Amino acid sequence: MSTNPTPLKDVIKQEYVKCAKDPAYFMKKFCMIQHPIKGKIPFDLYDFQESSVNEFEQHRFNIILKARQLGISTITAGYSLWMMTFHSDKNILVIATKQDVAKNLVTKIRVMHANLPSWLKQQCVEDNKLNLRYKNGSQVKAVSSGPEAARSEALSLLILDEAAFIDKIDDIWTAAQQTLTTGGQCIALSTPNGVGNWFHRTWVEAEEGRGMFNFIKLHWTVHPDRNQEWRDEQDGLLGVQSAAQECDCDFITSGTSVIDGVILEQCRDVMVKDPIEKRGVDSNLWIWEPPDYTKNYVVCADVGRGDSKDYSAFHIIDVEKVEQVAEYKGKIPTKDFGNMLVSISTEYNDALLIIENNNIGWATIQQVIDRDYPNLFYTSKDLQYVDIAHQMSNRYRAAEKNMVAGFSTTMKTRPLIIAKLEEYFRDESVIVRSNRLVDELFTFIYLNNRAEAMAGYNDDLVMSFAIGLWVRDTALRLRTEGIELTKKTLNRMQDIDGLYTPEENKNESWDWEIDKKKESLTWLL
């Protein structure tokens, strides 16, 4: 028994409903795109393109870090057309580096619109190179970057095309936020363009779970038609550094960076890994390795103000392997930070605790002293420098030795610790586990011959890590050498008449008789 075919009107209605509910389905089924070789072809979305469209539906704000030539501008155009077709009074604005670049996206929308079936196609009331407006009140407009680019009526969707390259985008975004307050969306897409710009900052914030953007990373490997041979060809076509940015989505730094960007990307690819444990109410204490009671550690800390503008940070470093085994970065009161440092340093075998003593650092240091922590690092007051001879003794009497608790970062010591930091990374003799630290290193630059964070960034993790590496390479190394030298020297003294009398000190071989009084020399060890 045959069944009657579904009337065409009902079929169209069903398709219309499917398209209205699913922008990816709409694009795959009814949109055409302009292929450079084949001409107009159906828009057969790749899996990564379809998943990106689904992300647009789930999140108001999306930032896309992408490799070149993945068709992301095209899916953004398709999504814009879908919004205009199935919704009335939608206002879409495309901002790019140049008007021609923004116009290209509108052209993609126009091509898709022109090839829609009649029952889907909205009636145009305005159609030119920079603007497409429907009778239902929806429109898309293309503009170049400029201080007034986003100062318009309320937006339904803002598209920032090649956002990393847009001039004055900080001002544009500040203005745009006011136009998106009624529920508008934003899609910011770009290949990388170094660090320190709005796109990079926003991406880092999104990765760390801060800010308002959902992040989507599209490495060159997501494209099914690309292989390693294709990637190798790009090095020759674009250059190694450009290919790293445009294919691998690497944020390569400028020539003013303290640490070479290529080295940092290698660290990220090879060394960085997720912690095995995240502690604390804020989950900002990251642990990669638990304490090994056969090892020595240093804890190096930078104290923040505890407000919204600054962070407290510390690292735990395996002295022998020069490996980062734990890290903290968070906003915490100075007293609580001191308690945390004592607790974690004790856990890691009474690690040498190094706290920068500049400014607010004294409050944390005092808390550590009050807790009577036995292995606090001291600096020579007169030289504002590490007194190696005294530090080797491991017997810190500030009054006697003219020492002050903590590490003093001064005009004299700062270049030394930065040089040591750069040396360790250049020689690939340090193991970094934290993506947070790598991100800070990317924005740690030379500005007027001074190494510091770019404007708008922090260097709390970088500076504390640099201090730790320098102390590890000087005081601790020389201390170890000094212990061996002291043992040899004292052993020779046993054979010198008048200086040492082992018969009188059989049970305590390191006691030395001076002016008929015994003084133990074990503190030298």
Q: Which residues have CB under 8 Å from 360's CB, separation 6+?
A: 303, 304, 305, 306, 334
Q: How many CB atoms lie within 10 A of CB 85?
A: 23
Q: Residue 476 — pLDDT band, cuts 50, 70, 90?
A: low
User: Using an 8 Å Cβ cutoff, are 187 and 64 in contact?
Assistant: yes
Q: Are strands 378-380 and 91-96 parallel, antiparallel or unpaired?
A: unpaired
Predicted confidence at residue 340, as pLDDT, reads 95
Residue count of the chain, please give it.
Answer: 525
Structure tokens at 487: 């043992």
pLDDT digits 0-9 by tens, 321-363: 999 999 999 988 889 999 999 999 999 999 999 999 887 888 8
Dihedral-angle region of residue 435 (phi above 0 means left; psi in -120 to 50 means alpha; beta otherwise): alpha
User: Using an 8 Å Cβ cutoff, are 334 and 362 in contact?
Assistant: no
> Whole-angstrom Cα distance, residue 188 to residue 169?
11
> Whole-angstrom Cα distance, residue 242 to residue 420?
29
pLDDT digits 0-9 by tens, 24-64: 999 999 999 988 888 889 999 999 999 999 999 999 999 99
Give the chain's domains with CATH numbers: 26-252 (3.40.50.300), 269-478 (3.30.420.240)
Structure tokens at 97: 């580096």
Distances (CA, A) of 264 to 253, 269, 373, 425, 426: 9, 9, 35, 8, 10
Predicted confidence at residue 257, as pLDDT, reads 79
> Whole-angstrom Cα distance, residue 462 to residue 329?
11
Predicted confidence at residue 299, as pLDDT, reads 96
Structure tokens at 351: 């690690």
Chain position carrying tokens 């140049």: 98
Structure tokens at 92: 């879409």
Please check the confidence at residue 222 and state whether its pLDDT lies above 90.
Answer: yes
Distances (CA, A) of 354 to 101, 234, 314, 361, 386: 52, 46, 9, 11, 11
| Lowest-confidence pick of 272-281, 319-328, 334-343, 513-522 | 513-522
Residue 397, strand partner residues:
none
Phi, psi of 519 (to 5 degrees): -130, 125
Distances (CA, A) of 244 to 12, 109, 217: 47, 30, 14
Phi, psi of 505 (to 5 degrees): -135, 50
